[in-house]
């Protein structure tokens, strides 16, 4: 889908959640979706960063976004249920989720990683996407064409030394995505997919590949064609897949 061109306003009037919307790929995706007419729900840990994304959307005259500050490492099932109820009360619908927030410490051998690191990684990368999807499922079921997207990475596709709890948790998230897809196959209006965006000029990439010349990598906007395709109607029927940007 590198050459895909989204039809004008192909997400008009839709409501889409993006986690990790305060910076990097999440921020880029939120703005890209808003440019196509979507009302964005911005979730992230840092209020100021979410406000920066909100301000960028507002400055361009795009649909007004909503901000939900939330630390996914500490959020409870009740928190996610309350947020879903708030979305229903304020907007009355939900058409998509981009699970983009991620937790990453550093590359290190498994033998020196701690159980606390594993627990935090799984809370942010697996448990939070599960709980958010579950809480929002009744809303997604009402949508004519709903899309749930997970941002994955190459360490989830093939085991790589030193990626530890991050790579393992991302693999688990992709497995969960496929399980959601299979279990909800009787509800074809909801589809689930993962995207491996590859090397981009993102804050995450600086952490995972500190030796690279960051400026020589593709800009984050270059991955947006695939995100826009999988969030819109033209990808209806595509589900349970891991896609390379």
User: What is the per-residue pLDDT across 146-195, written as a single tens digit (0 to 9) for each?
Assistant: 999 999 987 778 888 888 888 999 999 999 999 999 999 999 999 999 99
Q: Read off the pLDDT band of 56 (50, 70, 90).
A: very high
Percent of the chain clearing pLDDT 90 (strictly above): 76
- CA-CA distance, 181 to 233, in Å (whole number)? 17
Q: Read off the pLDDT band of 215 (50, 70, 90).
A: low
Q: In this predicted structure, what is the pLDDT of residue 203?
A: 61
Domain ranges of the chain: 15-244
> Residue 150 belongs to what H/E stretch?
strand 146-151
- CA-CA distance, 181 to 176, in Å (whole number)? 9
Those residues whose C-beta lies under 8 Å from the C-beta of residue 200, and which sit 6 or more positions away, are: 25, 217, 218, 219, 220, 222, 223
Q: What are phi and psi of 239, to 5 degrees?
A: -155, 155
Domain 15-244 belongs to what topology? Answer: Rossmann fold (3.40.50)
- DSSP annotation of 232 reads S
Q: Read off the pLDDT band of 223 (50, 70, 90).
A: confident
- CA-CA distance, 54 to 58, in Å (whole number)? 6
Kindly provide the b/e burial profile for residues 48-60, where b requires at least 16 CB atoms within 10 angstroms of the residue's own CB: ebbebbbeebeee
Q: In this predicted structure, what is the pLDDT of residue 141?
A: 97
């Amino acid at each position: 889908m590198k050459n895909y061109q989204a039809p004008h306003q192909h997400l008009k009037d839709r409501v889409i959640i993006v986690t990790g919307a305060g910076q990097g790929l999440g921020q880029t995706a939120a703005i890209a979706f808003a440019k196509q007419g979507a009302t964005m729900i911005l979730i992230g840990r840092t209020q100021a960063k979410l406000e920066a994304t909100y301000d960028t959307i507002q400055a361009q005259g795009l649909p007004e976004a909503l901000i939900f500050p939330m630390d996914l490492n500490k959020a409870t099932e009740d928190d996610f249920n309350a947020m879903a109820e708030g979305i229903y009360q304020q907007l009355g619908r939900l058409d998509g989720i981009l699970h983009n927030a991620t937790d990453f410490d550093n590359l290190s051998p498994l033998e020196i990683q701690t159980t606390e690191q594993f627990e935090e990684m799984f809370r942010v990368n697996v448990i939070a996407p599960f709980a958010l999807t579950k809480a929002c499922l009744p809303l997604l079921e009402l949508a004519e064409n709903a899309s749930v997207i997970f941002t994955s990475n190459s360490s989830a596709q093939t085991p790589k030394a030193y990626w530890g709890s991050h790579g393992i948790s991302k693999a688990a998230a992709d497995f969960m995505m496929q399980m959601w897809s299979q279990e909800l196959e009787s509800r074809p209006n909801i589809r689930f997919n993962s995207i491996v965006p590859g090397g981009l000029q993102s804050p995450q990439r600086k952490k995972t590949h500190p030796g690279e010349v960051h400026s020589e990598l593709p800009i984050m906007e270059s991955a947006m064609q695939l995100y826009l395709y999988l969030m819109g109607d033209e990808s209806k029927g595509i589900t349970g897949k891991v896609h390379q940007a």
